[in-house]
Amino acid sequence: MREGSHGSARLLVVDDNKVNRLLLSRNLELMGHRAIAAENGRVALEMLRREPFDLLLLDIEMPEMDGFQVLEQLAKDLQLRDLPVIVTSSLEGVDNVVRCIELGAEDYLTKPVNPGLLKARVGASLEKKRLRDLQKELVRRFATPEVAQDLQQSGFSLGGKRVRGTVMFSDIRDFTPLVESQPPEETIELINTYYTLMFNAISGQGGIVSHMAGDGLMAVFGAPLPLPDHCDAAVRAALDMIEMIELFNVEQKTADKPQIRIGIGIASGEMVAGYTGTNERATYTCIGDTVNVASRLEAHTKEAKRAILIDATTRQGLGAKVEVEALGPVTIRGKVQPVEVFAVKGA
């Protein structure tokens, strides 16, 4: 609830009739809610776009903009389409009730509104909203904001679409001996700090972390939302990551704790991005040759003794500011033709 305290919500009452407005607001206030009133649909929409509300009580018959038009506008508005609406009207005819529900109203109360019924309907709608908010919050926590937005806009369906983008793999060098050398609690703390730093660097450049496994992660630049300079963005993120690890190591050294090193592999090209798994449990990911190359390049950082390795496509997509060193063709697993590999300088 917006108001913080349990059970108290901020409600907007929209009615062109003053007696109705006062009475509805009074009933809601007696239930412990905060009621704010608007005299027509246009004013109500302006208020909804300006301030947050938990629930809308909407009259239908109004000058300037009627309740049907408000419902239509709300359905089109990404920010407002989940706002629960209870229509309170004395319109004649069941057709109008049907139309309200079809336009997305959660409930319909006939005026004069029975206070007991009002309380029950408002309570049920707020509870449903609370659960929806909770669900959205969970999606945000377990998916990235971009994936959450994609889900909200396009809905969930298994399968993917072809996109052009850049994939990054990163992991901690010599992690196993490190784990064995310290208590597991310290390892968890180390990993969480590491992930926090990496997430900041990646999302700071417009990328999303699509997978985490142990000490490794996979990030995508250019999906689910297109990113015009995905090659540059990925390389900038990689350089930021290296810089953050260096700063982190200074702190670790001061605290007499183990320092870490990371290896990063980056590849660009076409891939299929979408949801894989089952209808019950799925994850947003990218699949394709580009992903394999990035993963192999990350593994190759050990042999090459370089922190950031990129493929030729990423190299071509880079702006002039980034200096790279050509390491020549490298044969990697899963590829018949050797791959041209470049190391990013300054890392």
Binding site for other proteins (CB under 8 A): 16-20, 22-23, 26-27, 30, 61, 63, 90-92, 111-112, 115
Whether residue 65 contacts residue 36, with contact meaning beta carbons closer than 8 Å, is answered with no
Comparing CB distances to other proteins, the nearer of 63 and 338 is 63
Burial 236-250 (b: 16+ CB within 10 A, else e): bbbbbbbebbeebee
Whether residue 170 contacts residue 214, with contact meaning beta carbons closer than 8 Å, is answered with no
The token duo for 257 is 């704790």
**Smallest distance from other proteins to CB 39, Å:** 12
Comparing CB distances to other proteins, the nearer of 30 and 138 is 30
Comparing CB distances to other proteins, the nearer of 60 and 267 is 60
Comparing CB distances to other proteins, the nearer of 95 and 180 is 95
**Smallest distance from other proteins to CB 17, Å:** 5
In Å, what is the CA distance from 148 to each residue of 21, 143, 192, 202? 37, 6, 22, 17
Comparing CB distances to other proteins, the nearer of 123 and 319 is 123
**Smallest distance from other proteins to CB 44, Å:** 17
Count Cβ atoms below 10 Å from residue 156 Cβ, excluding itself: 12
**Smallest distance from other proteins to CB 270, Å:** 57
**Smallest distance from other proteins to CB 202, Å:** 56
How far is it, in rounded angstroms, from Cα 58 to Cα 45? 11
Specify the DSSP element, H or E, that contains 282.
strand 282-287
